[in-house]
Structure 1
Amino acid sequence: MGAVMTELDDLEDIPGPEGQLTLKLVAMPKDTNLHGDISASWVVSQMEQAAELTAARLAKGRTATVALSSMDFLCPVRLGSLVEVHSQLVETGTSSLKINIEVWILPPNEQDPNSLYKVTEATFVMVALDDKGRIRTLPKC
């Protein structure tokens, strides 16, 4: 007998965010560039904030960004879009964490809450710091 295709099978083929939802916010007028789109620097700032939140929780304290991979912007972020930033731990070292960050949007006036569009992604390398700003070892889990 042949397999019966269901709506759930179709949904599994649709890519979606990976990792934990870390930030969810609305793109506001103050975040636009001169063309009225949301500035790429604002998007990167939200990504770094999500990486910092994730790293600080895992490192149990202060962390800093030391590197991030290149990124491509797949679509513009329009004013009023609901912006979701997802984070996923990729790797840990002695003092560092690699965290993949993805940005997805729900455009303004979109009726289907499942119609998210991927904007960009990057891997952030974060290091744990002590109170004096020196690199420290990550705590044991």
Structure 2
Amino acid sequence: MNEEIRPVSRSRSIMTELVFPTDTNHHGTMFGGTLMKYIDKISAISAMRHSGKPVVTASTDSLDFLSPIRMGEAVELEAFVTWTRRSSMEVYVVVRAENLFTGERRITVTAFSTFVAVDEQGKPTPVPSVLPETDAERKLFDSAPERHELRMKRRAQRFSSTDR
């Protein structure tokens, strides 16, 4: 691991979008796939801000849909790096929906993704450590090794019907 340490605030990234009819399904709620695209995008920005390098998505896990996002609402995504290893970074994303007329806001999705920083040849390259700055960030940092172990177990259990 790199000896450099960067605060969580360096990676914090926020993106806001208005949900239009083309973003919704037949229920009038936002397509999950569209939201997943936004999550991947804001997570990559956060990881690049932290590492100062190009990144690739290694995994997206524990994507939890808590509440639907309706057409006409604003959707706000907040992402930041919670933990690092040698070349990988765990990024936490919280998604909030807002009724722009009433001001009501609610958490709709939470997700964890892992990104790997790469060099000019596309090979993994070291990233700085992360320094949590708040109690909430410290809790995410402290619980990250357990999430990492679960990812590694899941990775070892992969199966494909085309495997021989």
- Of structures 1 and 2, the larger Rg is shown by 1
Q: Is the 8 A contact 1:52 1:65 kept in 2?
A: yes
CA–CA distance in structure 1, aligned partners of residues 111 and 129 of structure 2: 26
- Structure number with higher helix proportion: 2
> Which of 50, 58, 62 is equivalent to 1:66?
58
1:116 counterpart = 2:105: yes
Runs (4+) of structure 1 exceeding 6 A deviation are none
Distance 2:72 2:115 in 1: 30
Aligned residue for 2:74? Answer: 82
2:38 aligned with 1:46: yes
- In the alignment, residue 30 of structure 1 is paired with which amino acid? T
Mapped pair 1:138 → 2:127? yes
SS at match of 1:61: coil
TM (norm. structure 2) is 0.66
CA-based RMSD of the aligned residues comes to: 2.0
Residues 21 and 64 from structure 1, CA distance in 2 versus in 1: closer, same or farther, beyond 3 angstroms?
closer
Contact (CA 8 Å) 2:63, 2:111: kept in 1 or not?
yes
- CA–CA distance in structure 2, aligned partners of residues 134 and 120 of structure 1: 32
The aligned length equals 120
Among all aligned residue pairs of Structure 1 and Structure 2, give the percentage whose two residues are the same amino acid: 23
Aligned to 2:17: 25
What is the CA–CA distance in structure 2 between the aligned matches of 1:55 and 1:20, rounded to whole Å?
9
Report Cα offsets for 1:40-76 as digits up to 9, x if no partner: 1111111111100000111112101111222221111
Cα distance in 1 for residues equivalent to 2:54 and 2:12: 20
Contact residue 128 and residue 138 of structure 1 kept, 8 A: yes
Question: Residues 140 and 69 from structure 1, CA distance in 2 versus in 1: closer, same or farther, beyond 3 angstroms?
Answer: closer
Greater shift, 121-130 or 19-28, is seen at: 19-28
- 1:63 is aligned with what amino acid? V
| Residue in 1 that maps onto 2:4 | none
